[in-house]
């Protein structure tokens, strides 16, 4: 337990700076009055929860990983929040419409909580189905194309052309072609993930040591056995490793597709409140997208680290 709480001497200095900035933030939030020109005032409960919650996460990762960069991130983050709070309370920021106060921004998550939760669940569902279909088909066809030259010669040139086209450019056509906006959004995610997965799998198959292939052939392994028992296990670490990048691109495409007409999802939430000129909610939606992508990235990295152990 003592080892867990032990840090390098210099790291305690930055920990103290981050803690002082946090305390200063809380004091300014609770005691400084709003500058008189501002028209809307919000409760500070949500903002205080964000400050304290982020500080708890910061301490956990600091003592767990013992990285100096964790301190650096905390100092920059709390310094930014302190500057934002001071600028707003002293009247340096005059535009309530475009730049809300920190209290106003995070109060959205209390004020619009049911709506945000519903839209986040909707986005995750669309992302799950689109990504699952694309990753599965992309991997299967990638294995076949990587192993069978004739299939590769047909599909690889096509993929080289299509991957140069931004997936969102298909969205208008998908909306007209498919029955619902939901199906169109899933199709856009599919295009964003399928071709990179296919190309990555083909490349990974081409990197297999030929001695492994020859040894499997010597033991009488057929085409299906070669694909399932030799090639797929070899390619799996690379496939898992590419999931993180694919998911980032897929979620960005999903948010863009949701803005085109689907009435569910965090992209729809942003587009709706942009049309109402409620940029406080727009910023809250952007923060939500950043949070979701960060969580997804962390989860995928954990899966890659603990499931594909033989690559480490």
Q: Quote the pLDDT of residue 310.
A: 53
What are the backbone dihedrals phi and psi of residue 181, each rounded to the nearest 5 degrees, phi first? Answer: -65, -30
The Cα–Cα gap between 270 and 290 comes to: 13
The pair of structure tokens assigned to 14 is 């930055």
- Asked whether residue 34 falls in the same domain as residue 145, the answer is no
Same domain, 79 and 178: no
Do 37 and 134 fall within a single domain? Answer: no
| Residue 140 belongs to some domain of the structure | yes
**Same domain membership, residue 240 and residue 140:** yes
Domain with 14, as residue range(s), is 9-111
Alpha helices by DSSP H, listed for the chain, are 9-31, 45-65, 68-89, 102-111, 113-147, 149-162, 171-177, 181-206, 210-218, 223-225, 232-258, 266-275, 279-307
pTM, two decimal places? 0.81
Q: CB–CB of 262/185 below 8 Å?
A: yes
How many structural domains compose the chain?
2
Q: Are residues 84 and 163 in the same domain?
A: no
Q: Which residues of the chain have pLDDT under 50?
A: 312
Which CATH number covers residue 147? 1.10.3720.10
- Is 48 contained in some domain? yes
CA torsion 285-289-295-300 (nearest 10°) is: 160
Q: What pLDDT does residue 246 have?
A: 75
Residues 74 and 191 occupy one common structural domain = no
The per-residue pLDDT for 237 is 76
Same domain, 173 and 145: yes
Q: Specify whether 64 is located in the same domain as 128.
A: no
Instruction: Quote the pLDDT of residue 21.
Output: 93
Going by C-alpha positions, the residue among 55, 49, 86, 88 that lies closest to residue 73 is 55
Is residue 197 within 8 A of residue 162, CB to CB? The reply is no
Give yes or no: residues 79 and 214 share one domain. no
Query: Of 92, 111, 130, which residue constitutes the final position of a domain?
Result: 111
Are 39 and 79 found together in one domain? yes
pLDDT of 244 reads 65
pLDDT given at position 108? 93
From 111, 129, 158, the end of a domain falls on 111
pLDDT at residue 37, as a whole number: 66
Taking the C-alpha atoms of residue 213 and residue 162, their distance in angstroms, rounded to an integer, is: 31
The pLDDT value given to residue 251 = 74
Looking at the structure, tell me whether residues 28 and 150 fall in a common domain.
no
Beta-carbon count within 10 A of 220 CB: 7
Final residue of a domain: which of 111, 144, 165? 111
Q: Dihedral of the CA atoms 143, 177, 264, 241 (nearest 10)?
A: 10
Does residue 67 belong to any structural domain of this protein?
yes
**267 in any annotated domain:** yes
What pLDDT score does 58 carry? 92
Looking at residue 81, what is its pLDDT?
93
> Is 2 part of any domain?
no
Specify whether 256 is located in the same domain as 171: yes
């Amino acid at each position: 337990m003592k080892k867990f709480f032990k840090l390098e001497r210099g790291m305690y200095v930055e920990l103290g700076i981050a803690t002082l900035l946090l305390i200063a933030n809380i004091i300014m939030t609770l005691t400084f009055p709003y500058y008189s020109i501002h028209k809307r005032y919000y409760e500070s409960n949500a903002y205080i929860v964000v400050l304290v919650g982020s500080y708890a996460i910061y301490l956990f990762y600091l003592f767990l990983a013992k990285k100096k960069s964790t301190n650096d991130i905390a100092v920059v983050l709390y310094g930014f929040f302190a500057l934002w709070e001071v600028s707003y309370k002293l009247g340096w920021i005059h535009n309530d419409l475009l730049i809300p106060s920190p209290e106003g921004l995070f109060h959205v998550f209390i004020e619009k909580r049911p709506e945000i939760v519903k839209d986040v669940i909707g986005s995750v569902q669309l992302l799950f189905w689109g990504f699952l279909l694309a990753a599965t088909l992309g991997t299967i066809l990638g294995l076949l194309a990587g192993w069978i030259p004739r299939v590769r010669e047909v599909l690889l040139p096509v993929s080289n052309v299509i991957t140069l086209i931004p997936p969102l450019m298909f969205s208008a056509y998908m909306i007209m072609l498919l029955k619902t906006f939901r199906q169109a959004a899933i199709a856009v995610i599919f295009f964003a993930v399928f071709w990179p997965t296919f190309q990555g799998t083909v490349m990974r198959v081409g990197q297999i040591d030929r001695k492994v292939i020859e040894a499997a052939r010597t033991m009488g392994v057929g085409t299906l056995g070669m694909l399932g028992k030799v090639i797929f296990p070899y390619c799996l670490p690379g496939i898992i490793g590419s999931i993180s990048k694919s998911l980032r691109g897929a979620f960005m495409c999903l948010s863009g597709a949701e803005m085109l007409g689907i009435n569910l999802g965090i992209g729809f939430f942003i587009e709706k409140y942009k049309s109402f000129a409620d940029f406080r909610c727009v910023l809250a939606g952007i923060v939500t997208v950043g949070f979701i992508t960060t969580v997804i990235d962390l989860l995928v990295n954990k899966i890659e680290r603990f499931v594909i152990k033989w690559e480490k």
